[in-house]
């Protein structure tokens, strides 16, 4: 009986050791798999972010002539770091020139509808391609960091043109974020329309890469920083108030899912008077001229008429 007890005890001990080994192996396998998945996700997010620095270019398959703008000309000008920018220039008939700044992964055609209704009311316009877009030179696309050099060059260009007495600007998304930062420092811009601008570049990157939390967010931020993008310095929301006392019109789509929730009101709260916020019902990211075409053109024209042709409020 004693021998049998010893044998059972030994068997139980061996069984216990076997189960511990199995559990260790299973645990290590799980950890290794989890790490492999995390590495794969991080690498994928990093590759996506790298691709975002050089988005595919959209073709310029139309000209202003196709929307009735006959007096335009092709122009080039150069940013301070040597990047050549290309665009279309429409001379003003009323002394006021509006710079039109397109969004990420688009080109100057994006704002051709705006140029059309502006030119019909005798405004001039400059539509240009940001670096890495359209027909402008190759360069990293930095979502509002290096693009400030392009906007500065655009202002310098139009300020030197004959017949330009006042300058305004309209920017969309990346173009709007860039516009805010430049307008805060350059009072040659007398009035600005800001459409679908994100509050900060860090917040925008985190929001757009939020699918897998920090596993997708941190690699995206790290990739942008490694490429030389000053993520922590692109903060349009912090610059909005410095546009004042020049007026700002903020426009957002009620259904815009490309900016963090609460952005329209946060931007309105950060801006200083004179400022107006217009949230367009049923509009998403950039389809304002499709959802409310008549009201959209009227609101933009009224804004520029009031502040650049009139005496303001």
Q: Render 36-96 in DSSP notation, one character per residue.
A: HHHHHHHHHHHHHHHHHTSPPPPP----GGGGT--S-EEEEEE-TTS-EEEEEEE--SSSE
- Structural domain contains residue 166: yes
- Structural domain contains residue 207: no
In CATH, what number is assigned to the domain containing residue 249? 3.40.50.1820
Residue 104's alpha-carbon distances to 107, 198, 278, in angstroms, are 8, 12, 22
- Structural domain contains residue 1: no
Which residues constitute the domain of residue 114? 64-200+235-309
Statement: residue 3 has pLDDT above 70: no
DSSP 99: E
CA neighbor of 108 nearest in space, from 91, 89, 123, 94: 89
Stated as kind and residue range, the H or E segment containing 102 is none
- Structural domain contains residue 18: no
Which is it for the CA torsion 249, 243, 144, 64, positive or negative? Answer: positive
Q: How far apart are CA 25 and CA 279, in angstroms?
A: 57
264 confidence band (pLDDT: 50, 70, 90): very high
- Structural domain contains residue 94: yes
- Average pLDDT taken over every residue of the chain: 88
Q: How far apart are CA 294 and CA 286, in angstroms?
A: 15
- Structural domain contains residue 171: yes
Residue 15 phi/psi, 5° resolution?
A: -65, -40
Tell me: the pLDDT tens digits for 89-121? 999 999 999 999 999 999 999 999 999 999 999
Domains contained in the chain, number: 1
Statement: residue 283 has pLDDT above 50: yes
- Structural domain contains residue 196: yes
- Structural domain contains residue 102: yes
Statement: residue 79 has pLDDT above 70: yes
pTM for this model (two decimals): 0.85
């Amino acid at each position: 009986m004693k021998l049998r007890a010893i044998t059972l005890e030994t068997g139980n001990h061996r069984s216990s050791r076997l189960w511990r080994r199995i559990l260790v192996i299973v645990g290590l396998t799980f950890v290794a798999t989890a790490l492999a998945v995390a590495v794969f996700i991080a690498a994928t997010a990093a590759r996506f972010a790298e691709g975002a620095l050089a988005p595919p270019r959209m073709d310029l398959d139309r000209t202003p002539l196709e929307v009735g703008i006959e007096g335009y000309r092709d122009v080039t000008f150069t940013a301070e770091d040597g990047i050549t920018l290309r665009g279309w220039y429409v001379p003003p008939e009323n002394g006021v020139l509006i710079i039109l700044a397109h969004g990420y992964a688009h080109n100057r055609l994006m704002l051709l509808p705006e140029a059309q209704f502006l030119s019909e009311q005798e405004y001039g316009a400059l539509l240009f391609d940001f670096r890495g877009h359209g027909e402008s030179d190759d360069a990293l696309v930095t979502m509002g960091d290096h693009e400030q050099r392009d906007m500065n060059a655009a202002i310098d260009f139009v300020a030197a043109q004959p017949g330009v007495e006042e300058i305004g600007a309209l920017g969309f998304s990346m173009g709007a974020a860039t516009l805010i930062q430049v307008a805060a420092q350059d009072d040659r811009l007398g009035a600005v329309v800001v459409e679908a601008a994100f509050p900060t570049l860090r917040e925008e990157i985190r929001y757009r890469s939020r699918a897998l939390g920090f596993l997708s967010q941190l690699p995206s931020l790290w990739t942008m920083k490694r490429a030389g993008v000053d993520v922590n310095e692109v903060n349009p929301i912090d610059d909005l108030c410095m546009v004042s006392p020049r007026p700002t019109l903020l426009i957002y789509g009620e259904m815009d899912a490309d900016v963090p929730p609460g952005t329209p009101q946060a931007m309105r709260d950060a801006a200083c008077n004179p400022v107006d916020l217009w949230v367009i019902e049923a509009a998403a990211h950039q389809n304002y001229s499709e959802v409310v075409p008549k009201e959209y053109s009227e609101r933009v024209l009224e804004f520029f008429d009031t502040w650049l042709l009139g005496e303001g409020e």
